[in-house]
Chain A
Amino acid sequence: AQKVTQAQTEISVVEKEDVTLDCVYETRDTTYYLFWYKQPPSGELVFLIRRNSFDEQNEISGRYSWNFQKSTSSFNFTITASQVVDSAVYFCALSEGRNTGNQFYFGTGTSLTVIP
């Protein structure tokens, strides 16, 4: 079973629009960690954020914000006033910690294109 689902394969928005990337996860562990990574065309994955399962506070960093809801097993990512430089593939990932092999489960990614 897929542990991380990113249902949106591709999204296109016009510059300055807001866009939300969805992430739904599945785990039976009570302690887990959620991540978002950005993969620009160069290929290198860039770490954006980590969220612990016991911390449901939403977070804002500049134009980026994250909404973590345990009740719906979702960890959505919103980019406000999108820019062309935001064009990339975004991956959501889940880790159940070192005691379970520390494996990261990545979603299949959402390709975001911001049109100028």
Chain B
Amino acid sequence: EAGVTQSPTHLIKTRGQQATLRCSPISGHTSVYWYQQALGLGLQFLLWYDEGEERNRGNFPPRFSGRQFPNYSSELNVNALELEDSALYLCASQGPSSYEQYFGPGTRLTVT
């Protein structure tokens, strides 16, 4: 069974640009979560999508947004990039009747 996949692996952007990160969940999983792991700050919850809708949002500004597609894959968009957005962005998926989340390898975003 394929795990959670994320693309791209690395992304380098300039301050003020937009970044788009993608995530494909494990087959059969309907929920997708996004986390930001900045250096030394641990994992910070960004967004939760379930059945195509945003269900919960962490304490991040509106320039962090996303969506979930009918095939349950998801996209995270970060607008007006700032230097402090540089981090590892982790996507996790969860099955409809399970409690644990399974993580992808992450996308390392660098903003210069």
- Whether A and B are associated in the same complex: the answer reads yes
Which residues of A come within 8 Å of B, CB atoms?
33, 35, 37, 42-47, 50, 52, 91, 95, 97, 101-109
- Contact of B105 with A108 in the complex, beta carbons under 8 Å: no
Determine the main DSSP class of B at the interface with A: strand
B88 at interface by CB-CB < 8 Å: yes
**How far, in whole Å, are A45 and B104 apart by their CA atoms in the complex?**
7
Question: How many interface residues does B have (CB within 8 Å)?
Answer: 24
B72 at interface by CB-CB < 8 Å: no
- Contact of A33 with B99 in the complex, beta carbons under 8 Å: yes
Contact check: which of A33, A37, A42, A102 meets B55 at CB < 8 Å? A102
Q: Say how far A106's CB is from chain B's closest CB, in angstroms.
A: 4
- Chain-A contact segment, one of B16-24, B41-49, B60-68, B78-86: B41-49
Contact check: which of B43, B56, B102, B106 meets A102 at CB < 8 Å? B56
Contact check: which of B42, B94, B104 meets A44 at CB < 8 Å? B104
**How far, in whole Å, are A103 and B50 apart by their CA atoms in the complex?**
12
Contact check: which of A33, A45, A102 meets B90 at CB < 8 Å? A45
- Contact of A42 with B33 in the complex, beta carbons under 8 Å: no
**How far, in whole Å, are A107 and B43 apart by their CA atoms in the complex?**
8
Contact check: which of B31, B43, B99, B105 meets A42 at CB < 8 Å? B105
- Contact of B56 with A45 in the complex, beta carbons under 8 Å: no
Question: Known: A43-B106, A44-B104, A44-B105. Contact between A102 and B31, CB under 8 A?
Answer: yes
